[in-house]
Chains A and B, each alone.
Chain A
Amino acid sequence: MANTILHKAATRGQANHGWLNSFHSFSFGSYYNPERMNFGALRVLNDDTVDAGMGFGKHPHDNMEIISIPLEGDLEHKDSMNNVAVIKNGDIQAMSAGTGIYHSEYNNARDKRVKFLQIWVYPNKRNVEPRYDHITLNLDDRHNKLQQIVSPDPEDAGVWIHQNAWFHLGQFDKGISTEYHIKAKGNGVYVFVLSGDVKINDQLLNTRDGFGIWDTDKFTITADTDAEFLLMEIPMAV
């Protein structure tokens, strides 16, 4: 029998700094909820909106796998490894913070906000050499099918991270259904709905709801409306 947990969108933490409006699925910054600490190795799922001309100044990270998924607008990234990049919808960015990096993220547009997901996953190895990766995906490859965007294997599709985790994006038309098979024993899946309504087995999820499922080998995902969603398969043991 599968275990599940439902996080309705309205129950997320929120930090509205004016220039940044961030919804936290798990405890982050000044939002602390002991019941919302992590889903296995998934520690942070922030749903961020950054105003035009604003951004995150230079700040440090270490020992964390950080995945950014732009949903709207362009976000400029600069880091202490001399990477400079602009990420936009369709791109996936991954950083292994390892022994320590600094980076900044800015929305340089004059009149367009940026929306992006910031996801932190505990690494399976501490103090690795910091690294940066950034890819552009074909959006058509997630229409009515699952598009792999993250894996543990540098040779596999998407970006890779130091964790036994696989992420997929899907953009399904109403009524489309597929079965997801867990890839690694002991893993669970956290589903985050980007738009529309989906069902995981019989559980209905609405926009920005989160749903964790584990102790199962597979589950069915069905678009109840036209819908976009993110599946994050994650080790449940930290």
Chain B
Amino acid sequence: MSKIEILVIGRHPEILQTVLRLINNNEAWAATGARTDEEALTAFTSNVFKLVLLGGGIEKESESSLRTTFNAHKPDIIIVQHYGGGSGLLAAEIYEALNGRIID
């Protein structure tokens, strides 16, 4: 069974690593991390992601630009804001997003 590919974007390096580790602990999910917009755009065009998680610290302009680009390349991409920065909400956020229930 192929894993669900998830792109995680966040400015805080330690929190980003924590979120990636937590996601990759789930056998059904595979996470790729990006700290900058450039890294995110490069990763997005070289992988088939189902879901994008927007972590902390992303400026409004960057978020808007990333969303526009991602939607243009892949209209069915699911983009959600990740809150909390750790294990508390992460799994439920991903389950909810994959089920089409999104909190921005």
Contacts and interface: CB of A to CB of B under 8 A. Distances in A.
A104 to B, nearest CB: 13
B86 A61 contact: yes
Contacts of A61: 84-86
A18 interface: no
A28 B56 contact: no
A43 B83 contact: yes
B88 interface: yes
Contacts of B18: 59-60
Given A60-B14, A62-B57, A63-B56, A97 B92 contact: no
- Chain A interface residue bracket vs B: 20 to 34
A27 interface: yes
Interface string A77-103: 000000000000000000001111010
Nearest to A31: B92
Interface residues of B, number: 27
Interface string A109-123: 000000000001010
B88 A60 contact: no
A62 B95 contact: no
Contacts of A126: 56, 81
B87 to A, nearest CB: 6
Interface of B: 10-12, 14-15, 18, 55-59, 81-89, 91-92, 95-96, 99, 101, 103
